[in-house]
Amino acid sequence: MWERWLNMRILVYDLVSENRKRIQKSKFRKKVRAIRVKATEMLHQLGVRCTESVILVPDTRAGSVDAVINKINGMFFKVLSDAESALGITLPRPVIRLLDITEDQFAVFRELAERRLYEALGANIHRVSKIAKSLADRKSPRKVENLISSLKKLKREWLNIRRHVVDLGIGIQDDIDYLIRTIDDVIDSLKGQG
């Protein structure tokens, strides 16, 4: 199993945040936040998160990384340049790097990823179960539509994660499949209400 580290890399990143003092009180706050959130989603699609700013990336996805980094840098470039001109400040640029990994690093980051995944799985199973239990409540058609959309997004995220955990050798596919089946059941029930 530990030979898996040979097919892994780590992606480390630090994105510009809307919480920087000068941005926080400016018209650029919402723009920077929207770009940071979108960029984070794009990075998370490449692998499995270990910590807030480290992602384990299978070599099979390494070819996509450069394109994602270029796209993220392009998204930030305009808004940061505009903010610098308007506010008379210099802002840092995003730092995103794909790095080789040692066997020891892989073992640690894999453990962190596994722990984070189990916590997220538990929280999401609880959330979906809570929605299922509240189905008897009368919901407006708009709220039902929003719930279905949210659940479909959650399902796509976990299907993506499922692909990566196989590469990592983290044996939680059955738990992910349970969550996905539960999501599908709740979506079917919600569609019956809409």
150-175 pLDDT tens trace: 999 999 999 989 988 887 888 899 99
- Residues 148 and 191 sit within 8 Å (Cβ to Cβ): yes
- pLDDT tier for residue 123 given thresholds of 50, 70 and 90: very high
Say whether pTM exceeds 0.85: no
The one-letter amino acid code at 41 reads: E
Q: What is the number of other CB atoms lying within 10 angstroms of the CB of residue 122?
A: 12
* pLDDT: which is higher, 12 or 146: 12
- Mind listing the pLDDT tens digit for each residue in 38-72? 999 999 999 999 999 999 998 888 789 999 999 99
In order of their start, the domains of the chain are 1-101 (3.30.70), 103-194 (no CATH)
Output the pLDDT for position 138: 61
Residue 33 has pLDDT above 80, yes or no: yes
Mean pLDDT in residue range 24-31: 92
Output the pLDDT for position 193: 65
